[in-house]
Amino acid sequence: MRPIKLIAEIGINHNGSLDIAKKLIKLSADSGWDAVKFQKRSIDLVYSQNYLSQPRESPFGNTQRDQKKALEFSENDYDEINLFCKEIGITWFASAWDIPSLRFLDKYKPTYQKVASAMITNIEFLKEVSSRGIYTFISTGMSTLEDIDLAVDIFKSSNCQFELMHSYSVYPAPEDKLNLSLIPFLHKRYSVNVGYSGHESSLTPTIIAAMLGATTIERHITLDRAMYGSDQSASLAPEGVTKLASMIRKIPPCIGSPIKNFDESEHRVSEKLRYWES
């Protein structure tokens, strides 16, 4: 069993603060995660003007626009994130929620792309993403098998490498709704790598997902689950970030391969215990 890739989803849990973002990046790097991920939106494309004008009390103002705008990093912010990640040696990328955001991210020559569950039915967007030929994680929450079939066809037609990410898009997700059996099912159906993007509050389902063959694990992370934000309660706090990485890293060597070996270490024990063979 090969090593499992670990992606720490910072998403919008930075609450518009570069300082918080850097602390989460550093936490991820120090805990042995492979990459951190953000989210990038053009709010006037992703949301209607009517929605943006609606009232919403938040630390950033009194409307949906105030809240959404505050959670979007600027180009200068991303330049700083890019430099910081290079300095401490961790990969970063972001899930774009619209084509202009996707093109904005091109500047940073990302190692990976991510199609969020909300975007899996946007055919124009999928074609734009797949045209880049960059390894792409495709989350499958809020979708039917027919939706996934179409997305897979688009990426295969474009010869763009991808990995499906099983997900249940409720925050936090009830554990009896996770249906982790879909991980081996999707692998068999499409003959591709299948990871797991978890939104549950605990660690156990993520460990089970890895045991069922998930090739990548993605979990939201936060400095404090009591912080403001819709994703915070479905995120791992610092202790969980470190603990989960340690537990996941132990899985491949423990599982090994389906080959029965009677090695030298066991031979030495057998010589002591099998008296009738001596």
User: pTM to 2 decimals?
Assistant: 0.94
State how far the Cα of 183 lies from the Cα of 213, in Å rounded to an integer: 7
Q: Which of 115, 94, 116, 82 is nearest to 10 (CA)?
A: 94
Residue in the structure block whose two tokens are 């949906």: 64
Per-residue pLDDT tens for 125-145?
A: 999 999 999 999 999 999 999
Phi/psi zone of residue 191: left (φ > 0), alpha (ψ -120 to 50 degrees), beta?
left
- The tens digit of pLDDT for each residue in 90-128 reads 999 999 999 999 999 999 999 999 999 999 999 999 999
Question: What does DSSP say about strands 61-63 and 55-58: parallel, antiparallel, or unpaired?
Answer: antiparallel
The class (CATH top level) of 5-277 is alpha beta
Alpha helices for 31-144 (secondary structure H):
43-46, 49-52, 64-70, 75-88, 99-106, 123-130
Q: Is the pLDDT of residue 278 over 80?
A: no
By the 10 Å C-beta count (0-12 exposed, 13-18 middle, 19+ buried), 19 is classed as exposed
Q: Where are the domains of the chain?
A: 5-277
CA distance 101 to 15: 19
pLDDT at 134: 98
